[in-house]
Amino acid sequence: MGWLYVKEFGSFSGSLSEKAERFREVVLSYGNKGVAALIVLHIVQDVVSVIPAAVAQFAGGMIYGLWMGVFTATVGIAISTAINFYATRLLGRRMVSLFVSEKMINRAEAIMAGGVSSLVIFILFVIPFPKTMIVYFVALTQYKAWKLFLLSAVGRLPGMILSTYAGTAIMSGKTPLIIALSFCAVSGLVLVIFRKRIMNAITKPRP
C-alpha cells in the first residue's frame, strides 16, 4: 500500500481533502485486496518499524472509516505482536539484537530480573512508546504470552482509535480536530525517533 500511496496520492493535484478522497477511491477499487493490503501494512510496520504506526492507522481511517480502520489495525498488530513474541522466544537475544543494542538488552534484563509488572507493561503500551521493544524484552522473560497479547490489544486501543479517527476527520474536513490530532501524532513520532535515548534513560541502572 505504501507504493500505491506514492504512485497515486503523490501525483494528484488539488487540495489535501481532494487528494485523500482520490486515494481512498483507488484503494477501495481493489475491494477485499485493499483490506488485506492494509492489514499487511500494519504487520510489516510493527515487525520492521519502517513507518510510525500512526501513519498506517491514519490511512485506515481515511480509507475505511473509524471502526473498520481500527479493526484492520487490531488484526494486523495482533498478528505482528505474535510474530515478534514467538520469534524472540525461539531465537532469544539473537532476535532482539538485530534491532536493539546489547547494552540496552542487558539493562532491560537487569530491570526485569526482579519481576515483570503487568501494570508497567500496560502503561507502556498506552503511552507513545516503542511497542515492539516492549514485546521483545517481555518475550525474553517467562511472562505468559496470552497476558502480553491482552495488554497489548487493550493498551494500544486508545492510540489506534485516535490515529484512525484523525484519518476519518480529514475526509470530513474537520480542520481544528485534524490539527489537534496531528500534534498528538507528531509528539508520538518524536518519541519514536528518540526511542533509543528514552530507553537508555528508562533502563539506566539506579545507584
The DSSP secondary structure of 15-37, one letter per residue, reads: -HHHHHHHHHHHHHTTTHHHHHH
Tens of pLDDT, residues 135-145: 999 999 999 99
Rounded to whole angstroms, the Cα distance separating 124 from 78 reads 16
Q: Read off the pTM.
A: 0.73
Mean pLDDT across the chain: 77
Q: Measuring CA to CA, which residue among 173, 152, 4, 3 is closest to residue 85?
A: 152
At 130 the pLDDT is 82
At 3 the pLDDT is 46
Contact 149/78 with Cβ under 8 angstroms?
A: yes
Average pLDDT (164-183) is 66
Tens of pLDDT, residues 70-90: 999 999 999 999 999 999 999
At 178 the pLDDT is 55
Residue 196 has pLDDT above 90, yes or no: no
- Residues of the chain with pLDDT > 90, as a percent, come to 23
At 91 the pLDDT is 92
Residue 66: partners with Cβ closer than 8 Å, 6 or more residues away: 161, 164, 165, 168
Tens of pLDDT, residues 91-107: 998 888 888 888 888 88
- Residues of the chain with pLDDT > 70, as a percent, come to 69
Rounded to whole angstroms, the Cα distance separating 55 from 203 reads 28
Q: For the residues of 68-108, what is the DSSP string, one character each?
A: HHHHHHHHHHHHHHHHHHHHHHHHTHHHHTTTS-HHHHHHH
The long-range contacts involving 25-30, CB below 8 angstroms and separated by at least 24 positions, are 27/1, 27/63, 28/63
At 100 the pLDDT is 83
Residue 142, SS3 per DSSP: coil
Residue 141, SS3 per DSSP: coil
